[in-house]
Structure 1
């Protein structure tokens, strides 16, 4: 299953201290094939990721591994999408 994961930064002023760990976990999820594409929201701050997971629950669990999410600095809204 593919999802558009729209992430909004809730407290941008608190993200800098956690950025190295956020990038590390993000890179791991991308290498695993979970995160397939990344776009930055304009105007930001936020992202839209295309992710692939077995279920919505699996996608939510993987996104929750990101430090910004686990620390309450970011939240994602998921929308299931299909290829044409």
Structure 2
């Protein structure tokens, strides 16, 4: 779905250490959940805090997952 990007080997970061961007953290969070191959994804406002481009990428990914047969349930607000 995604190409390898420059942040692929970056530190995620925490309150003390600056790491990847908020958008990339959201993508990473989704990826960590998808590794377990769930049959249902519940996404509560997955676009919150993202710019329009990143929000579109998240929604495209969720849409593709739904087309691939995964049940996707989410609530969204316009970014």
Larger Rg: 2
Decide which structure has greater strand share. 1
Report if TM-score (shorter chain) is over 0.5.
Answer: no
Higher RCO (C-alpha 8 Å, min separation 6): 1
Q: TM-score, normalised by structure 1?
A: 0.30
Q: TM-score, normalised by structure 2?
A: 0.31
